[in-house]
Amino acid sequence: MNTDESVKLLARIDERTILIMDQLEEVKKCHGDHEDRIRNIERWQWKATGITSAITGFLGAAGGVLLGKGGT
């Protein structure tokens, strides 16, 4: 292998390395987007759980009072 072939081979390796780095950056951004979406879903889930618990507790207490089994 002569010097010209070596230089061309190194140039191709450099180009492919740059492409890999660009693709890696895209993967990092995509991963970050997925993490943000997961965190938003988790926040919504906990809010919904709290609201559902409050409604269920109120309805249970109201039902107990209406049936004469709740309150003091």
Span 15-61, pLDDT tens digits: 999 999 999 998 888 888 888 889 999 989 989 999 999 999 999 88
Is the pLDDT at 1 greater than 70, yes or no? yes
Global pTM value: 0.49
Say how far apart CA 47 and CA 41 lie, in whole Å. Answer: 10
Q: How many domains does the chain have?
A: 1
Is-contact 53 47, C-beta < 8 A?
no
Q: State the pLDDT at residue 72.
A: 55
pLDDT class of 14 with cuts at 50, 70, 90: very high
Closest to 62 (Cα-Cα) out of 51, 53, 71: 71
Sign (positive/negative) of CA torsion 39, 44, 46, 47?
Answer: positive
Range of the domain at 70: 1-72
